[in-house]
Amino acid sequence: MQYGKMQKNLKRCYKKKIVKRVASWLELKQPKLPMCLEEPLDHLSILWHLVHSCPIVLLEDLKPSCVAPTWSSFQAFLIPDTTPATVINYGPFFPKSPTNPDVVEQSVQYCMDMLRKHGQEYAIITCDQAIHEVALSLQKKNKEKYAKIILRMGGFHIAQNFLGAIGHLMQSTGIEDIMVEADVGLHGTANKIINGKDYYAMLHAHTMVYASMFALHWEA
């Protein structure tokens, strides 16, 4: 329902010609795909968008109470998970703040000790943004000592910063009002989404905006 409202508030209503265009495209014996669709994963992403572009009535004809899954669920259904299970072990505990420079230094030193113990060449350390800043400054001060350390920010903060950058680029374009009209959230929530302050709301809202814009682009 929110996807439909988003498209309506973008001043473009849904038309059944999308379904006809998809059907005619599928009937081609040798459809010529653009360069951006040559990879199989791109096909799945386009397919997800097309499913969301179809009226709910068409989905109910296939199966009662059938709804289009989210992007993550859609990919999980179609792509088998062959990732090996991760072996987790706990290191020493430090009774101080995790962002304390001494704690960060001891933690990095522990990783280096494990590196030599297991005969590995590099140690990859993943941490949140606050700890990453401290560890990065520590590495810059002594590059030779920590040359075998690879620091990376956790996926949560990478995604949060990325979504915040998208919101910064879209700020003052009227997208906040569209989110409010589409019942994504109130003005306070919309501002948090644009300012990169609410991760889960950003993930939900930007996915909806992207899907709605794709539907409008497909119609055009």
SS (H, E, C) 81-113: CCCCCCCCCCCCCCCCCCCCHHHHHHHHHHHHH
Residue 37 lies in a domain: yes
Residues 6+ apart with CB under 8 A from 22: 50
Residue 196 lies in a domain: yes
Instruction: Judge if 11 and 70 occupy the same domain.
Output: yes
Mean pLDDT of 11-29: 41
Centre a 10 Å sphere on the Cβ of residue 207 and count the other Cβ atoms it contains. 15
18 pLDDT above the threshold of 60: no
Instruction: Judge if 74 and 170 occupy the same domain.
Output: yes
pLDDT category of residue 47 using cuts at 50, 70 and 90 = confident
User: H helices then E strands: how many in the chain?
Assistant: 11, 2
Instruction: Judge if 162 and 61 occupy the same domain.
Output: yes
Strands 123-127 and 149-153: parallel
Centre a 10 Å sphere on the Cβ of residue 70 and count the other Cβ atoms it contains. 13
Instruction: Judge if 170 and 189 occupy the same domain.
Output: yes
Centre a 10 Å sphere on the Cβ of residue 109 and count the other Cβ atoms it contains. 12
Q: Mean pLDDT: which of 64-78, 117-131, 162-176 is highest?
A: 117-131
Range of the domain at 36: 2-81+157-219
23 pLDDT above the threshold of 60: no
Name the domain count of the chain: 2
Instruction: Judge if 126 and 161 occupy the same domain.
Output: no
- Which domain-ending residue is among 109, 136, 153? 153
Instruction: Judge if 128 and 179 occupy the same domain.
Output: no
Instruction: Judge if 24 and 72 occupy the same domain.
Output: yes
Report the candidate in 127, 208, 219, 126 with the shortest Cα–Cα distance to residue 166. 208
Average pLDDT, the chain: 76
